Amino acid sequence: MRLLLWMGMVIGWTAVGWGASSSAPGRVTLATYNIENYILAPAGSRPAKTEASKSKVASILKTIGADVVALQEVGGTNALADLCRRTAALGLPYDHREWVQGFDTNIQVALISRYPIVARRPHTRDSYVLSGRRFQVSRGILEVDIRVGGEEVLTVFVAHLKSRRASVEADEGEMRREEARILREKVEARIRAAPRSKVVVMGDLNDTKDSVAIRALLGRGKDGWVDARPSERIGDTGYTPNARWQPRTVAWTHYYGVEDTYSRVDYVLLHRNVARDLRPAESYVPVVADWGLASDHRPVVVVLETVGR
């Protein structure tokens, strides 16, 4: 049993046919969303998600209407199927899905798509050493290729890095840094294998942009990635008093009740091969009434151009 837990598991399915894209012609809409303990039965200290909360998650996904959604804190394949049944009932079918389980058997990462998944490369056995002790990457790393129209293929990585909760085993920031390093190595390996790949990293990275973990993922110079950083559509002009800073738009994605703080820890990062396709004016963080009923996170929505580029 311990061996099976250590090795992790992966499962995915593909159905024939898919709904028409919710995006305008020549566009693909991506989203990442931590759906906060979307589990159907209590698991350890995690309670089962309430009916009202599950319905609200599906409702928010319907409002977004994204073509591809990266999900975090999915409590197994039954929970993923439950969510997809709910969105389908609202007129938003996701017939193509991937789910990856790492060392953590309670919550996992997943991806749902209205476009076909044409390749799957799950990463479930990665580990690192801190202070002489070996640790597993808890949630695994999901990697898929998605055909989004014609010959256009996006490579999407989905990750959920170590939480910011203190750990008795090691420093949680160092654990997150090591998981970010492994994720970056996976991404670089994909680019080396296929230099023209259009690669996107999405997920709950559990840290702020100035952290060691996020800086390691973003890189700099010719190897630097683009942080899409969508924000609320509330009419802000993006005032920026310092050219080195991001504009003062409302971009937070997570509420932490213990501290009563709001921060941006959910990201869509773009390799330069795909960064030119970003449509910032069409990308956003949704403003939804009672968003907290669904999750302690808000989704991040990014629109890419896919035709004629």
Question: How far does CA 276 lie from the centroid of its chain?
Answer: 20
* Token pair in block for residue 171: 């420093």
Q: What is the pTM of this model?
A: 0.92
Each residue's pLDDT tens digit, 14-31 = 333 333 445 777 899 999
Average pLDDT over residues 100-114: 96
Please list, in sequence order, all residues whose beta carbon lies within 8 angstroms of the beta carbon of residue 189, skipping any fewer than 6 positions away.
Answer: none
Pick the CATH number of 2-305 from 3.40.50.2300, 3.90.1280.10, 3.40.50.12160, 3.60.10.10: 3.60.10.10
Report how far residue 130's alpha carbon sits from residue 148's, in angstroms, rounded to the nearest whole number: 40
Residue 17 has what pLDDT? 31
Residues in the chain, overall count: 309
- So what's the pLDDT on residue 22? 58
* Identity of residue 116: P
* Residue 270 to residue 267: CA distance in whole angstroms: 10
What does pLDDT average to over the chain?
91
Express as a percent the part of the chain with pLDDT over 70. 92
**Closest CA relative to residue 285, chosen from 306, 254, 257:** 254
d(CA 96, CA 110): 11
In angstroms, the CA 150 to CA 153 distance is 8
The 8 Å CB, 24+ separation contacts for 251-260 are 251/285, 252/285, 252/298, 253/285, 253/297, 253/298, 253/299, 253/300, 254/34, 254/204, 254/296, 254/297, 254/298, 255/292, 255/296, 255/297, 256/164, 256/296, 257/296
